[in-house]
Structure 1
């Protein structure tokens, strides 16, 4: 499983479904983006951050993917159990970075580096709200700011 501080990694389990695969029963590469999105969303929800209500609050914000770099190391197949491991690695005024790994047991299948922008309803960059920045800092005590 992930290296570094184990408490800094959020784990999201999932099982590969038919719809995730190609005709050969191998996970279609773009579906890993869906898997890591679910992992990030679950990390937020498990820590009291409801993305739906976040935008509805006064001065509401959302997190949009600004960039994503993915290394596909090994394939996953139909009905395999996977874990998306997510760690917040950097927090800046209006953005954050995460490392997200997809594992099958002890095998690393996919490694992704994701940068998220904090935006308002009009798509303009906004500072990460203090209460959310505090959650991220709690999750990853060694964050670079």
Structure 2
């Protein structure tokens, strides 16, 4: 598979994202990554609402690992880059990096499962959806 350009999502660290010392709380990185995945899908032309309404499918986090490299702090500007690392029959593997001015803050490896909303059961990713997510696969 060829390398696709990363999807970039910019954000600012707000007080609600930090601990009492102004350092980003560990769980806030999960929210940052979730927002970035939502905007990645939206920019592909797959907003969650449309995906649900047209196909009855959703993507859910099946597995996630995160490595923290450096702390982020109150009022900093961060960028979350999302790349497709692989795609299976009913799953998508993503690598998300959170950075500040070219400096790595955190790296997340995320496995998403394609699930039928009505049943909660995994389902193959439709070909049209697959082509949008990873057009070279």
Q: Deviations over 1:53-90 (max 9, x none)?
A: 21122x41000000001001100000000000000111
Q: Determine if the alignment matches structure 1 residue 49 to structure 2 residue 43.
A: no
Aligned residue in 1 for 2:13? 16
> Aligned to 1:128, which of 111, 125, 137?
125
Structure 2: gaps spanning 5 or more residues: none
Structure 1 segments, 4+ long, off by >3 Å, are none
Q: Distance in 2 between matches of 1:55 and 1:84?
A: 25
Instruction: Tell me which protein shows more strand as a share of its residues.
Output: 2
Pairing of 1:37-76 with structure 2 (within 5 A): 37-57=34-54, 59-76=55-72
Q: Distance in 2 between matches of 1:106 and 1:80?
A: 13
How many equivalent pairs are there? 135
Aligned residue in 2 for 1:84? 80
CA RMSD, Structure 1 to Structure 2 (Å): 1.4
TM-score normalised by L of structure 2? 0.94
Q: Determine if the alignment matches structure 1 residue 105 to structure 2 residue 95.
A: no
